[in-house]
Structures are given as structure tokens and as C-alpha cells.
Chains A and B, each alone.
Chain A
């Protein structure tokens, strides 16, 4: 190509200079940029609007019920919003929700981290892929199916475990079993653990897979065994990711409705033993009572829903704090 003819052409079609046209304060004057800015900004605002709408709805309806409530909303063990006067409190629900979710976390987090480590660092590639696929399927099972399985399969098979716990740990009081049907908060905890296992496993797996090769080689070159590599490089790098994964799982466990409602033999009381039949959770209580509730009964249920909403927000906030606290060590800058 002839370079001289090229250069002579340039003055004939002057290039727009940077200062031509309108001032460009934020650089977003091209139509594509403007449209995309609008879309993304709109999406961002939409989230806030939805969140605010939910909070406003919950708060308004809850306030209606709370105005009528004659009992202490936080400590009362009663749930009788249609009574005269209406009396209801969330102590039983808060206890049941938190206890069953904590049991679920205690069971699910170590197993999930173990599965994720096995898939990423121990299993042959094909086996790891197969396991990951099955876990994905597990995540796709609807919660009503877990409920059916829990009620028809899990519950009848837990009596042996209950008897064993009673024999060896019954003296603590926490695992004392009176022989009732194993439809207790403990069973719910096991069921929830199975339900949140896939999400914790999947997120942890992704995090562990992203551990930079050079961090693992650093440990290997020092003479670390495979477990020591995991302890020195993989787990510290994945720590905040595992926490977020667990919080996602916890969020699901706290809000799980259908499976809990189908398996738990609910009653409105707090038992010292985890194995005693009875108790309830926020979501289960709303699902079981909503259809037959009076107007104030519905508002009382919505008030309990507001509490669940706040608990979930607090859990997420706590997770963020934990992650942020050791940010300078997080490995994000490496």
C-alpha cells in the first residue's frame, strides 16, 4: 500500500477532535453508552425499590397487628391472634427457626467443604465432574420433594439414630428422647442440611477451583503434603467464599417452608430436648396458618415474617463483617 497517498487523504476527512461538539462531562454521550447506563442504573435502582416495597409492606401490616397485640411480641409463647384480646409472640418460632438452621449448618458446612475439596483436589477429574453434576441435580430438586422424602423415608429411619443419641447423649438433656415420632427440630435440621448442601458445595467448589496455582505450588515446594497444601493455601484463600456460601445456605435454611411444614409435627412450645416432637419455624408457621387465618391473624403472621426478614438481613450483615474484617489477608490482591 502506498503510504504517501494515505497521508494526503487525511486532511480531506478531518477527524472529530476531542473537544468538538457538546461538552462530555462523564463521557457518556454516545447513544450506546447512554442506553447501557440507563439500563444498568435502572436495574440497580429496581433492586432498592423492590427491597423497600417489601419492607414497607411487612412493616405496615405488622404494625396493624402489633397495635392490637396484648402480649409481648418477642417473649410470649402464645399464638392466638384471633382471641379476645389478641395475644401472640414469636419466641417459639425464633427458637425453632434458629435451632433447626444451626443444626443444619453444623451438619452441612463441614460436609460441603469436604465434598468441594474432594471434587477440586482429590478426585480424578472425571469422577469429580460426575459428583459435581449430581450435586447440581440435588440443588434442582424442588423443596416439596424433599418434604415428601423427609416425611416418608427420613422420619421412619431416624428412630435408630434417636435411640442411639438418647443412650449416649441423653444425660445432657438436649438429646433426651421420649419415644415420640422423630418429627422434631433435630429431624428438620438434618433435612435442611441435605437441602442446603448443594448450594454450599457449589459455591465452595468454585472458590476452591479459583485458588491460584502459584499459591498451591508455594506450599508444595516447601514440602507440604496434599492436606497441608489445602490447609496453607486453599482454605485460607477460600475462607471468605466458604463463609458467603454458608450464609447463602443459612438464608435458605431460615426461610425453608414446604419441607419443614410437611415433616415437622408442630406445636407452639419450646422443648429443652432437640428430639422432642413439636416447635415451629417462622416460614412453616406462616404456611400452616395463613389459609385459615383471620385478618388480624394474617397481619400477625406478616409481623413474624418481618422478624424473619430482619434476621436474614442481620445474618447477611454479619457475614459481610466477617469477610471484611480480614480483607487485607484475603488474597484478593495476589
Chain B
């Protein structure tokens, strides 16, 4: 079940350093939203506030509201662990569990959440690997270590692992930046399929990628190093790349910055 994300007045800190300031935005269910912006502008930090991963960094702290449909992720009594079971995440570098087989990697999240019969697990693992367009490549080596796959396959394995638990939202932090162009294309195609089922937020440094995969694009920027990152604008991707309403966005996407 894809859910709507509604962020309002969000600040995130590292210790006393304000990393992102006063961010508000809405992400529609079953859509892909891309975050773009220069390094250090806080887009990854913001992404990590959406599944409460920011606070696992020492000193990490968040103020503000993140509503997932009508539940505030930062509300009193909300367990960050259960938030992360609802909001899946794929990281910049593929990080399958190196000691686990392909099968166990996909099943890892399910085993955390409860007891499944072997046949149920088999079904979900196959469905998730198919969902990640990886099944045909690994069906004969399910019991081999996940770390033996190629980089692109590992990243799709991580996506399979994330979608196996049927999250409401899928966050992707530069999922293709460590991959070659062909693997990148495979992931981008996959994102197009996944948005039928999930709300997807993707951070990318590749503006063509943002233009190819996303429905909406958010541009982040920071005034200077040491200043907090801010959301400059969020709009339909087509509009951001053709006729953005803020001059800074236009400068950034056309390469006139810094």
C-alpha cells in the first residue's frame, strides 16, 4: 500500500549544526519524486529523516513533522524500528549482507517481522526477485552468497530485499551512482515498474536520471558552506527542467552555478 508523505517545518541537526532548515513538501503515493542539488545541500540527510535513519548518526536530531498518511513518524510513542519496516531504503553502495545467500538476503526483512512457512518465504522471495528484475539471473544460485553478484545485481538484490517486506514507501539514496550505465538503465526501468506499487523518493546527482525516472523533482540548495540546506522548489519534473520558477534552479540544471 503506497502512502502519501507530508512533511512540514522539518529541521535536521548534526549535533548543534543545522543541516537542513524548514522543509515542507508533499509526496504523492505511486509517484517518483527525485531530489537534486549540489553536494552537501542536505538532500540525503532529508531522505534519511523520512525513515528515521538520520537519528542513528551520532548527534543526529530532527524537529518537525513527517506525516505518512495520517501518522506522524516523529509523534510521541512512535518506534523508529517500526517506521523503518514501513519505509524501505536502498543505499548508494549496494550493501547485501555479505554472510548471507541471495535467498537469505531477500528473506532477511521478513524473518525480522515474524514467522513464515518455508513455502511462504519461497513465494515471497521469488516474487520480490521477479519484482526487482533479478529472478532470471539468480534463480539457479539462490544459495550462493549475495556478495558474489555483480554490482548492478547486488543493487537489485537490495531492492528485492527492501520490497520483500511490502513497505509503503521506498527511499533510494543515489542508487545508481556506483553502477555502470547498463546496470543503471536496468534500475531505472525497475523504478518505473515499482512506482505502480510504492511511493518512491530518489536522490540523484544525475539530472538526466531525474528527468527520466521522476514525476516530480525537488531542488535543494545551500547559500554557502556551513549554512543549512533548503528546499528551493518542488514541481513537476517537466516544468523543473523546462521552465523552473526560481532562477537558482535554472542555473543549476543548466550548469551555471558556483
- Among B93, B97, B147, B162, the residue within 8 A (CB) of A333 is B147
Known: A222-B84, A331-B147. A214 touches B93 (CB 8 A): yes
Given A217-B53, A328-B148, A334-B147, A222 and B108 contact (CB-CB distance below 8 Å): yes
Contact present for B91 and A214 (CB under 8 Å) = yes
Inter-subunit contact A331/B112 (CB<8 Å) = no
Q: Is the CB of B84 within 8 A of A218?
A: no
Interface centre among B51, B86, B95, B148 (most CB of A within 10 A): B95
A215, A220, A239, A326: the one contacting B97 at CB < 8 Å is A215
Chain A residue with the shortest CB-CB distance to B92: A214
Residues of B within 8 A of A236 (CB): 97-100
CB-CB under 8 A for A221 and B148, given A214-B93, A236-B99? no
> Can you sample 16 A-B contacts with CB below 8 Å?
A215-B98, A220-B53, A222-B108, A222-B112, A223-B84, A223-B85, A224-B84, A224-B112, A225-B81, A232-B108, A236-B99, A237-B99, A239-B99, A328-B145, A328-B147, A330-B98
**Contact, CB under 8 Å: B95 / A218:** yes
The answer to whether A329 has its CB under 8 Å from any CB of chain B is yes
Known A-B contacts: A215-B98, A330-B98. Give 9 more (CB < 8 A).
A215-B97, A217-B53, A218-B161, A221-B84, A222-B109, A222-B165, A223-B82, A223-B85, A236-B97
Tell me the smallest distance from the CB of B172 to a CB of chain A, in Å: 11
Instruction: Provide the residues of chain B in CB contact with A33, threshold 8 Å.
Output: none
A201 contacts the other chain (CB 8 A): no
Interface residues of A in 204-228 (CB under 8 A from B): 212, 214-215, 217-225, 228
A217 touches B112 (CB 8 A): no
Instruction: Tell me, yes or no, whether A233 is within 8 Å of chain B by CB.
Output: yes
Whether A220 pairs with B84 at a CB distance below 8 angstroms is: yes
- A229 nearest in chain B by CB position: B56
B190 to chain A, nearest CB (A): 18
A-side contacts of B86, CB under 8 Å: 223
Question: Contact at B112–A228, with CB atoms within 8 Å?
Answer: yes
Residues of B within 8 A of A328 (CB): 145, 147-148
Contact A221 B51 (CB under 8 A): yes
Contacts of A333 in B (CB 8 A): 98, 147
Whether a CB of chain A sits under 8 angstroms from the CB of B36 is no
Q: Size range of the interface on B?
A: 20 to 34
* B88 close to A (CB within 8 Å): yes
Closest to B164 in A: A222
- Expressed in whole angstroms, the minimum distance between the Cβ of A209 and any Cβ of chain B is 14
Contact residues in B for A223 (Cβ distance below 8 Å): 81-86, 109, 112-113, 165
Distance of A224 Cα from B84 Cα, bound (Å) = 8
User: Considering the complex, which residues of chain B in the window 41-88 have a beta carbon less than 8 Å from any beta carbon of chain A?
Assistant: 51, 53, 56, 58, 81-86, 88
Instruction: Tell me the bound Cα distance from A239 to B165 in angstroms.
Output: 27
Q: Which of A219, A221, A228, A329 has a CB less than 8 Å from the CB of B145?
A: A329
Instruction: Return chain B residues, CB-CB under 8 Å to A125.
Output: 58
Which residue in chain A gives the minimum CB-CB distance to B96? A218
CA distance A236 to B146 in the complex (A): 14
User: What's the count of A-B pairs with C-beta under 8 Å?
Assistant: 83
Q: Considering the chains assembled together, what is the distance between the CA atoms of A233 and B108 in angstroms? A: 11
Q: Which of B51, B85, B99 contacts A329 (CB 8 A)?
A: B99
Listed residue (A326, A329, A330) with the most chain B CB atoms within 10 angstroms of its CB: A329
Interface centre among B85, B99, B113, B161 (most CB of A within 10 A): B99
Could you tell me the distance in whole angstroms from the C-beta of B187 to the nearest C-beta in chain A? 17
Chain A residues contacting B82 (CB-CB under 8 Å) are 223
Instruction: Give the distance in Å from the alpha carbon of A113 to the alpha carbon of B91 in the complex.
Output: 29
Contact A222 B85, beta carbon cutoff 8 Å: yes
Residue of B56, B96, B113, B158 touching A220 (CB-CB under 8 A): B56
Task: Report, nearest first, the 7 A-B pairs whose CB atoms are least far apart.
Answer: A223-B85, A236-B99, A331-B98, A221-B89, A222-B109, A223-B84, A214-B95
Q: Given the known inter-chain contacts A217-B91, A328-B148, please indicate yes or no for A224 contacting B81, CB distance below 8 A.
A: yes
B148-181 residues at the A interface, CB under 8 angstroms: 148, 158, 161-162, 165
Give the complex CA separation of A313 and B58 in angstroms.
Answer: 43
- How far apart sit A330 and B161, CA to CA, in the bound complex (Å)? 20
Q: Chain B residues near A224 (CB, 8 Å)?
A: 81, 84, 112
* Cα-based distance from A326 to B85 in the complex (angstroms): 30
For residue B160, give the distance in angstroms from its CB to the closest CB of chain A: 12
How many Å lie between the Cα of A47 and that of B16 in the bound state? Answer: 53
Q: For the complex, give the distance between the alpha carbons of A333 and B149 in Å.
A: 11
Interface string of B113-145 (1 = CB under 8 A from A): 100000000000000000000000000000001
Interface residues in A231-255 by Cβ distance below 8 A to B read 232-233, 236-237, 239
Task: Please encode chain A, from 316 to 334, with 1 for each CB lying within 8 Å of some chain B CB and 0 for all others.
Answer: 0000000000101111011
- By a CB distance below 8 angstroms, the chain A residues around B99 are 236-237, 239, 326, 329-331
Contacts of A215 in B (CB 8 A): 95, 97-98
Give the distance in Å from the alpha carbon of A228 to the alpha carbon of B84 in the complex. Answer: 13
B98: which A residues are within 8 A, CB to CB? Answer: 215, 236-237, 329-331, 333-334
Residue in chain B with minimal CB distance to A328: B145
A218 touches B165 (CB 8 A): no
**CB-based nearest B residue for A222:** B109
Residues of A within 8 A of B58 (CB): 125
Please indicate the chain B residues that have their CB under 8 angstroms from the CB of A220 in the complex. Answer: 53, 56, 84
Chain A residues lying within 8 Å of B161, measured Cβ to Cβ, are 218, 222
